[in-house]
Amino acid sequence: MSDWKKAASILGEAFSNTDATPGGGSAAGVAGVIACALARMAAGISAKSKSKKMDDGRREALSWALDDFKKEQLEFERLTAEDAAAFDAFMDVYALPKDDPKRPAKLHAALVHAGEVPLETADKAAEILEKLADVETQTIGTVTSDVNCAIHLVRAAGLCALENVEINAASLKDEKEAKRLRDLAEDIRRELTAR
């Protein structure tokens, strides 16, 4: 197994640098990754439990959760990378000469994309929040704090991602497109804060 303490240090250094990425969008994705990993751990420990209360149906649900949260963890990893790539692409367009006739259209497209990726991250977080509520009912008591931590982390992932949606919407000159992003973001915010 890799040295997770070293990984924490590497992440800390990466997020503290003054490069454009990683930033808040990447942090949101990483929080989602950790939330899913904690859910996998809690499901794995519970599935191995010798408790008499752990019937076959419950073990089957936990086995399904193990597989599902692995897929969701990979999805957050993809979204983390895609968020950074979207912001880097925006910065490339922003660096184009201001008199370039294609710059406005490219800037618009890059901003929309940079808003849609964190929107997808936030939507995924809301979906995972619902799945964690189901897992919470199946896991054993000794991992309750881990499941609760996963719930807090994935909610934070979604809310952080929505901050990036807002900053990109605010930069759009197309008010209709900005409103579309904000409306979608508000729907997801309600889901994230309802529980």
Q: Per-residue confidence at 2, pLDDT binned at 50, 70, 90?
A: low
3-state secondary structure of 95: coil
Domains in the chain, CATH or no CATH each: 20-194 (1.20.120.680)
Closest CA to 112 of 171, 162, 160: 171
Rounded mean pLDDT, 118-141:
93
14: phi then psi, degrees, rounded to nearest 5: -65, -45
Tell me how far apart the terminal alpha carbons of the chain are, to the nearest angstrom: 35
Tokens of 170: 């605010």
Residue with more model confidence, 5 or 31: 31
Helix ranges (DSSP H) in 95-143: 103-138
Handedness of CA 11, 15, 16, 18 (dihedral sign): positive
* pLDDT tens digits along 74-117: 999 999 999 999 999 999 999 999 999 999 999 999 999 999 99
Q: Per-residue confidence at 1, pLDDT binned at 50, 70, 90?
A: low
pTM of the shown model? 0.92
